[in-house]
Structure 1
Amino acid sequence: MDMPRLGFGTYGRTGPEGIAAILAALEVGYQHLDTAQTYDTEREVGEAVRRSGLSRDEVFVTTKVSEENLGEKQVIPSLERSLDALRLDHVDLALIHWPARKGGPAPEIYLRQIAEAKERGLARHIGVSNFTIALIEEARSILGDGAILTNQVELNPWFRNRKLADHCVARGMIVTCYEPLARGKVGADPVLRRIADERGATPEQVALAWELAQGYAAIPTSRNPDRIAQNLAAQEISLSSDELAEIDVLDRGIRSIDPAWGPDWD
């Protein structure tokens, strides 16, 4: 299975309510579930997949290696623990969640380990998250062209992240948008609301349709079954070139996820 471009994010989807939300996503047609070691939702994802009755090859599962697991001989054991939590023999995509902060392990240390995880069959694909242009280029020099499937970064109509996104596309990497709805804030945007009203859609659907039209992937989340289904239906919206152009200029340059220890953003 190629990576479905519209996935279901599982941050915050913990416990029985989390399983119910993930299961609702699978039932309405999502085929891509995005989790992470730091989300503490790997068990919920695995349980929802089992309850869904879907076969393993019908669900694309992504997880991310957390920062504390980037040292020598740590990446693969951490992924093995993730697989135990998921009760799966492999994930479809394993990402480095954040590059190590200054003073931490060098990229070569953890990138070579995640490449080895793929060689061992623990992951079908590998990728990165929150990597800058400089880190992308370093990763390419270490692993070679084509090794990295995606860079998962914050991106939405209010935070275009254009320089980084364009660089990833030029390097043949899929851009996966996290915070694709800016934590729901884009729903108040007057341009998105007008386009949505004209189309009988929601502003959130329009935002997701814009991201998909760029060739990006996106991983919205919700606990509300109706909203879960609405977000998936964004795939059915084909925006006109004029509408895409209107949305292209909505960038406010406001980043939602910006830890003090994060990389030096582009």
Structure 2
Amino acid sequence: MKIELKGRKAIVTGSTAGIGRAIAEGLARAGASVVINGRGEERVATALRELRALLPDVDFVGVVADLSTPEGSAALAAQVNEADILVNNAGTAHPNGFFEQEDSEWLDLFQLNVMSGVRAARHYMPGMVKRGWGRVVFISSESGVAIPKEMIDYGMTKTAQLAVSRGLAELVGGSGVTVNAVLPGPTRSEILGNWMRSTAEEQGISQEEAERNFLKTMRPTTLINRFTTTEEVANMVVYACSEQSSGTTGAALRVDGGVIRAIP
């Protein structure tokens, strides 16, 4: 199967590193022009420089905007008015104690992980519907199905993304626009990779050993017995954004290495 996205414009939020960066590169390799987004000018500039060196024939645009705020979301919309593909990847996670958390921490995480995608979808999807073609993908997580006790707030936001994704798919059914969610499992991304690196340094072991220990204690149901790569997650997203995925919408597509012990 050859995926061809030439002539399509894609926005990937939170795409200066990790899964978002891999998705941006994957869409660009398929021929799409890609909007790179991040909160810091330096990170956006670095990602643009590296991607343009890697793929000099692709049109990359950078937008510095903090999508956890309505103002940042409005700034993105003002700089890039239309898109054919929207990948809502912006988000973060960190271990915490439920009983020690303040309300503000829950609300801040919800603004970034959920409302950034809500606002982007609200702006870009009407144009997709009008043109009769579009692809929207929410990057959720296996934590949205199997809520981790050490990150209940994060799990809640990822479940919310599944609800928003399915609801939007219902809303635009029959329009030529598809909406799906992709659920990565433990992935060697920037956030989790840094956590594993820090853990390895504290314990005096290699990062690979730290990852194996994490899977053994925190995700023992893994079937691949390793972290997935960002490229493996990106492959699923690129497919969900393709012409060939026209029959897939309202779905939760897992790239979790088999962590979730369920068939559907």
TM-score normalised by the chain length of structure 2: 0.38
TM-score normalised by the chain length of structure 1: 0.37
